[in-house]
Amino acid sequence: MQAVTEGDRRKELAVLLEAMRAHPERDWSAARARAATLTKLIAGPSVPRQRTTPH
């Protein structure tokens, strides 16, 4: 089994987006959810916001 790379995710996202553009008449609900997941994975971990305490 091979590890999935960021490049693999980018390629999958590009394929999904192109298919959605080419056939907007289809129901792309599952593909949109997958595209959102891929986008989050590509973006990496979110940076936690620092808590501010009142002085």
Q: What is the pLDDT along the chain (55 residues), one digit of tens a residue?
A: 788 899 999 999 999 999 999 999 999 999 999 999 999 999 987 666 676 666 5
Contact 31, 20 (CB under 8 A): yes
Contact 42, 8 (CB under 8 A): no
The pTM score is 0.74
